[in-house]
Amino acid sequence: MDERKEQKPPAGRRATLPPPSVRLSPVQEAWQRYVRHSLRLCDTCRRVDGSACEDAETLYADYQRIAHAAMDHVAGRAPLPDGQ
Ligand SMILES: [Zn+2]
Protein backbone atom coordinates (compact mmCIF):
# COMPACT_ATOMS: atom_id res chain seq x y z
CA MET A 1 0.00 0.00 0.00
CA ASP A 2 1.27 3.44 -0.89
CA GLU A 3 1.54 5.49 2.33
CA ARG A 4 1.91 8.73 0.40
CA LYS A 5 -1.57 8.31 -0.98
CA GLU A 6 -3.87 11.11 0.13
CA GLN A 7 -6.43 10.11 2.73
CA LYS A 8 -9.99 11.02 1.91
CA PRO A 9 -12.16 12.64 4.59
CA PRO A 10 -15.17 10.70 5.89
CA ALA A 11 -18.30 10.88 3.74
CA GLY A 12 -20.04 14.23 4.07
CA ARG A 13 -16.94 16.10 5.25
CA ARG A 14 -14.47 18.21 3.35
CA ALA A 15 -10.74 17.95 3.81
CA THR A 16 -9.57 20.76 6.10
CA LEU A 17 -5.90 20.75 5.18
CA PRO A 18 -4.35 20.98 1.74
CA PRO A 19 -2.02 18.23 0.56
CA PRO A 20 1.56 18.62 1.89
CA SER A 21 2.81 19.64 -1.56
CA VAL A 22 0.59 22.73 -1.65
CA ARG A 23 2.10 25.98 -0.39
CA LEU A 24 -0.45 28.42 0.94
CA SER A 25 -0.15 32.17 0.58
CA PRO A 26 0.92 34.11 3.69
CA VAL A 27 -2.68 35.31 4.12
CA GLN A 28 -4.00 31.75 3.93
CA GLU A 29 -1.32 30.51 6.34
CA ALA A 30 -2.23 33.21 8.88
CA TRP A 31 -5.93 32.36 8.60
CA GLN A 32 -5.12 28.65 8.94
CA ARG A 33 -3.15 29.31 12.14
CA TYR A 34 -6.09 31.24 13.60
CA VAL A 35 -8.70 28.65 12.59
CA ARG A 36 -6.60 25.70 13.74
CA HIS A 37 -6.09 27.34 17.12
CA SER A 38 -9.67 28.42 17.69
CA LEU A 39 -11.43 25.34 16.33
CA ARG A 40 -9.08 22.53 17.26
CA LEU A 41 -6.28 23.34 19.67
CA CYS A 42 -7.74 25.67 22.28
CA ASP A 43 -10.35 24.59 24.81
CA THR A 44 -11.13 28.21 25.73
CA CYS A 45 -11.93 29.16 22.14
CA ARG A 46 -14.05 26.06 21.64
CA ARG A 47 -16.43 26.91 24.50
CA VAL A 48 -20.04 27.38 23.53
CA ASP A 49 -20.17 30.94 24.88
CA GLY A 50 -17.90 32.04 22.02
CA SER A 51 -15.27 33.74 24.11
CA ALA A 52 -11.85 33.93 22.49
CA CYS A 53 -8.56 33.79 24.31
CA GLU A 54 -5.67 36.23 24.07
CA ASP A 55 -3.73 33.92 21.73
CA ALA A 56 -6.69 33.79 19.31
CA GLU A 57 -6.96 37.57 19.35
CA THR A 58 -3.25 37.81 18.55
CA LEU A 59 -3.54 35.26 15.72
CA TYR A 60 -6.55 37.11 14.28
CA ALA A 61 -4.73 40.44 14.50
CA ASP A 62 -1.76 38.86 12.67
CA TYR A 63 -4.13 37.60 9.96
CA GLN A 64 -5.67 41.06 9.56
CA ARG A 65 -2.24 42.74 9.40
CA ILE A 66 -0.98 40.31 6.73
CA ALA A 67 -4.23 40.50 4.73
CA HIS A 68 -4.26 44.30 4.79
CA ALA A 69 -0.60 44.41 3.69
CA ALA A 70 -1.43 42.10 0.78
CA MET A 71 -4.45 44.22 -0.21
CA ASP A 72 -2.33 47.39 -0.05
CA HIS A 73 0.22 45.69 -2.29
CA VAL A 74 -2.44 44.63 -4.80
CA ALA A 75 -3.86 48.14 -4.80
CA GLY A 76 -0.38 49.52 -5.50
CA ARG A 77 -0.25 51.43 -2.23
CA ALA A 78 2.67 49.58 -0.64
CA PRO A 79 5.33 46.92 -1.27
CA LEU A 80 4.89 43.59 0.49
CA PRO A 81 6.78 43.22 3.77
CA ASP A 82 9.84 40.97 3.76
CA GLY A 83 9.05 37.28 3.48
CA GLN A 84 5.76 37.67 1.60
ZN1 LIG B 1 -7.75 30.10 22.21
Taking the centre of ligand 1 as the mean of its atom positions, its distance from the CA of residue 2, in whole angstroms, is: 36
> Around 2, how many Cα atoms within 13 Å sit in the side-chain half-sphere?
4
Query: Is residue 67 domain-resident?
Result: yes
What is the number of structural domains in the chain? Answer: 1
* pTM of the predicted protein model: 0.66
Cα-to-chain-centroid distance, residue 42: 15
Query: Is residue 80 domain-resident?
Result: no
Query: Is residue 12 domain-resident?
Result: no
Taking the centre of ligand 1 as the mean of its atom positions, its distance from the CA of residue 66, in whole angstroms, is: 20
Evaluate the CA torsion angle 42, 28, 23, 13 in order and state its sign.
positive
Q: Please, what is the Cα angle at 66 between 60 and 69, to 5 degrees?
A: 140
Q: Given this model, what pLDDT does residue 77 score?
A: 80
Query: Is residue 34 domain-resident?
Result: yes
Range of the domain at 45: 26-74
Question: Torsion over CA of 64, 28, 40 and 9, rounded to 10 degrees?
Answer: 150
Which pLDDT band holds residue 1 (cuts at 50, 70, 90)? very low
Taking the centre of ligand 1 as the mean of its atom positions, its distance from the CA of residue 74, in whole angstroms, is: 31
